[in-house]
Chains A and B, each alone.
Chain A
Amino acid sequence: MSPENEKHEILERTRNYVDGNHLFSRREFLLISGVMVVAVSSLEARGAKETPLIIMDQAKGLVIADPTKCVGCRRCELACTEFNDGKASPTIARIKVRRNLNFGPKGLDTGQRGQGNWGNGLVIQDLCKQCPHPVPCANACPNDAIVVSPTTRARVVDPNKCTGSKMCLRACPWEMLSFDTDTNKATKCFLCDGNPKCVEACPSEALSYVAWRDLTDKAPPRVIPTAVVPPEKAQTCNDCHKK
């Protein structure tokens, strides 16, 4: 079945379940559509009238962190980059500790009354939440380079498609995307195909790899995203959400 037809079928099935005026909650939609929804590249959706399907499968797993156990050694950042990229690079690391290590996520605004090594000692580990639909980084990418990993359904940057626009970096409310200036491509947490290296590396058991759950409304954002969603993708939203 062609991607367009598949998409139509899914949407039909979805619409048939519920009254046309019903506004879905994200949870309801996911329950209904189950795991059969696949992200479709806008390039593959031939025909200007066809809008891409931007709904992504939920990730299977997630890395979560306990800040009270973090001892600030940064072995997670080192394992993430050395064992995956062959170079030690906290700047590229897909788990981010360095930026909160000294003064906490609020930085110097709190002087010595904040978190981190200069405050009360708490080190907040920033982790990708493998967002459910709508996935900000994936939506922002003009080339649909952020796709779903076949093994873990983590949201992954496909380096063959990434052109280095950095829109994904601007889209993530938690600033979890990294940009590798050696390859000129974005990169993000891909859960290491189900055996996250950061979890394995942590010497204080502060990290765990668990079944995915939605943490997007539980962690305060670091920034207000300034990315622009490409118009054809924005149009797609109306497929489900237009009254």
Chain B
Amino acid sequence: MAKHGGWAGKVLRVDLSTGRISTEDTIEKYKDFLGGTGIGYKVIWDEVPIGTKPFDPANKVVFGVGPLAGTGAPCNGRTAVTTLWPTCWPKPLVASGHMGGHFAAELKYAGFDAIIIEGRADRPVWLQVADGKVEIKDARRLWGQGIRRTTVEINQQMGPEASVAAIGQAGENLVPMSVVMNSYSHSAGGIGGVMGSKNLKAIGVRGTGSVRIAGNKGEWEKVVKLHLSLLGSVNQHVVPNSPQPWAEYYGVTRWVGSRGRKWGAAEPSIETGECDPRNLNRISYRTNNAVFFLGEKAWQYTVRGNGCTSCPIRCHTMLKVPAVSSKYGIPAVGQNTCAGLILGRDFFKAFPDGPMGQTAIEACMVGMHLADDLGIWENYGQMQRDFKELYYNGTIKNKVGENEFKSYSWDKYEKGDPSFLFELLTRIADKEGELATALGLGTGYHLERWGIPEQEWQKDQKVAYWKMGHPKHHSNEDAGQCGVIINTQYNRDAQCHSHVNFTRNGLPIEVQKRLAAEIWGSSDAVDALAAYTPMNISKAKMAKWSLLRKELHDSLSLCNWMGPWIASPLKERDYRGDDSIESLLYSLATGDKKSREELDKVAERIFLLHRALTIRYMETKEMRAQHDTVPDWVFTDPASKASFTQGTNRMDKEDIKLAMDMYYEEMGWDKKTGSPTAAAYRKLGLGNVADELAKRGLLP
């Protein structure tokens, strides 16, 4: 029986250079950082020297999960993968990706809270973790194979229940825009090349152990059921997208299940029905991301929902599109969610039958089939946006040689023929040709290589670029100044959903404002969509809360695409959720009782460490000026509407200056530099961090 509640108790450390395998005590060394990204940041801080590049053996990649992973807490399936980021431009900095599926749970049952991969193997290897037994195995026969074949072959060795996280040819070829993937469709972007640079083809995990719940099992059952009762659909939308008998509200949300809508490719088909939120046995029928993104046509192709261990939401959609077998020679069944689902469609400007037609669906199927096997990352759609922009403005034609340009079937591309993807994606994975190589670098290095100033991208709203080689991710279009602040804080796209899960949940603005007042102190924290008002302190509190909760989720193993749970679909609760769900679950699972505020302090410690890492690797304390930047397009409007008028998301430069002031003040950081002070670090137990930064002159 596990010694602790929640945590498995051990962190696995594998040095691929020497072959040395060792373990560390999670509680002794990492308890103050919980797990997930917390452990990742701590390892990078302690062990990876400044100047290390992502593909150097000195870089480390940390697969981390939290104390809640593997339990019955809803939505705990994500593994955080932390490393120095290959697409971070111009200088690699720390960042993390996340992958769902069943890997996180399996790792816990195998007895580990994290795996630290260091060094570089001298030939292709894969890591076998079978309960406590860990071996570095020869992967020469797997090298050159796609993710799918690699996974199946490792399962043959480890048994069908093993969870395999593998890279494809893209990662092997050190393409920065590459992923590691487990459980068929769950990927962590950006990681593939780092693993490839270490000659690590895959990690296979099989765990037959358990995760202990420290607290009273009856109490645990109550909290889990409370959490379930507060769930909405994917992204915690709490309002259905059409009038339902039980519902006071309805909206254009991701809660798409309703009477008459069926999983059409299930055999026999299954009605999704009214999905009354009080019926916890029908939670899975609320969501169908394929339908949300691809239109009503996707119902007939839906086999069922799919997703991570323990999550009732099923945000992945398994689709069966028989036509693609004969048309493209690919399996009729495919599955993914969100950006991964629409990866194929996003490359094309238009289809003959529109964005929600049959061709678009086929493009998605082809895209998933190729990208999820080759292991290509699209950087939240940025690769596709870059591609479209550069093609249609003539740059690609200029930059790649004439022979190479002719070797692509541009007529197919312009017509919206999905088979074009076979030409493009395979070459990206193999770095074949200038175009493929450039796209595979990530936007920052791509623009640099082609002599395009970053400014060009930063003034174009359409391209949705933010900074440092990555796109915006739920910024001002979703939550005004709060969204802008959040997007300045990371070294890749922000990947934060705390704020947008709330603003898009479908509740009327007055209800959102009432809930906002309870959480962030004032109803002024949120504005109606595209009707933003000037900055105020509550928006800064909302931004801080959003960021801290994202780190908390990424460290506990809770899905930030679903949480926090401050709103619920229940009229009897006045649509309130419960802002202390995380602390309730954490306290009972681990036996370490922490209130909401206390746990948020741990989250703040983790977030602060990320800040310190960024400062250290950038070798500057001028975060405000050099890191927390906002692209010009945020301050523009295509129809030149003024900021703070209805119908525009346009922000104001002075107002954003104030927003950053207020945010730094909320965080207790120095306003001029945007850097945490020594006191801010010490307050959260990061005195050693402050000392090191002081030595390097990196404190304000």
Contact = CB atoms under 8 A, between A and B. Distances in A.
A and B touch in the complex (CB under 8 A): yes
Interface of A: 68-75, 78-79, 81-92, 98-99, 101-103, 107-108, 111-112, 117-121, 182, 200-205
Given A73-B309, A91-B208, A121 B284 contact: no
A87 B1 CA distance: 9
Contact of B1 (A99, A102, A182): A182
Contact of A83 (B102, B183, B212, B221): B221
Interface of B: 1-2, 70-72, 102, 105, 109, 148, 152, 155-156, 160-161, 183-184, 208-213, 217, 220-221, 224, 228, 266-268, 270, 280-285, 303-312, 314, 318, 320, 331, 333, 335
A211 B161 CA distance: 32
B210 A74 contact: no
Given A73-B307, A73-B310, A102-B160, A205 B152 contact: no
5 contacts: A73-B308, A74-B309, A82-B217, A102-B155, A200-B280
A117 B184 CA distance: 7
Given A69-B270, A71-B284, 16 more contacts: A69-B266, A73-B307, A73-B309, A74-B309, A82-B220, A85-B217, A86-B212, A89-B211, A102-B155, A102-B160, A107-B160, A117-B306, A117-B318, A119-B333, A203-B283, A204-B314
A82 B213 contact: yes
Contacts of B333: 119-121
Given A82-B71, A117-B184, A182-B210, A75 B312 contact: yes
Contacts of A111: 152
Contacts of B152: 108, 111-112, 118
Given A203-B280, A203-B281, A87 B306 contact: no
Contacts of B148: 112
A113 to B, nearest CB: 9
A120 B267 CA distance: 10
A25 to B, nearest CB: 34
A68 B302 CA distance: 12
A201 B71 CA distance: 13
Contact of B156 (A108, A182, A203): A108
Contacts of A91: 109, 208-210
A82 B212 CA distance: 8
A121 B306 CA distance: 9
Contacts of A103: 155, 160
Contacts of B285: 204
A105 B443 CA distance: 45
Contacts of A68: 266-268, 270, 304
A77 B83 CA distance: 33
A79 B620 CA distance: 50
A83 B267 CA distance: 33
B212 A204 contact: no
B281 A205 contact: yes
Contacts of B268: 68
Contacts of B220: 82-83, 86
A68 B320 CA distance: 14
A87 B210 contact: yes
A214 B211 CA distance: 35
Contacts of B282: 203-205
B71 A78 contact: yes
Contact of B304 (A71, A85, A92, A119): A71
A121 B304 contact: yes
Contact of B303 (A118, A121, A203): A121
A118 B210 CA distance: 25
A121 B212 contact: no
Nearest to A70: B304
A73 B212 contact: no
Contacts of A201: 72
Contact of A75 (B208, B266, B310): B310
**Residue with the highest number of chain B CB atoms closer than 10 Å, among A88, A89, A91, A205:** A88
Given A99-B160, A203-B281, A204-B284, A88 B306 contact: no
A200 B141 CA distance: 45
A161 B217 CA distance: 25
Contact of A73 (B211, B221, B312): B312
A203 B1 contact: no
A219 B254 CA distance: 38
A38 B267 CA distance: 43
A242 B210 CA distance: 47
A114 to B, nearest CB: 10
A73 to B, nearest CB: 6
A205 B107 CA distance: 28
Given A68-B267, A82-B220, A88 B70 contact: yes
B211 A203 contact: no
Contacts of A203: 228, 280-284, 312, 314
A68 B102 CA distance: 20
B310 A74 contact: yes
A75 B280 CA distance: 12
Nearest to A183: B1
Contacts of B184: 117-118
**Residue with the highest number of chain B CB atoms closer than 10 Å, among A74, A101, A203:** A203
B312 A88 contact: no
B231 to A, nearest CB: 9
Nearest to A123: B304
A89 B160 contact: no
Nearest to B285: A204
A71 B312 CA distance: 8
Given A88-B211, A103-B160, A78 B2 contact: no
A17 to B, nearest CB: 44
B209 A89 contact: yes
Contacts of A202: 281
B210 A108 contact: no
A88 B283 CA distance: 21
Nearest to A116: B160
Contacts of A102: 155, 160-161
A98 B309 CA distance: 10
Contacts of A72: 306-307
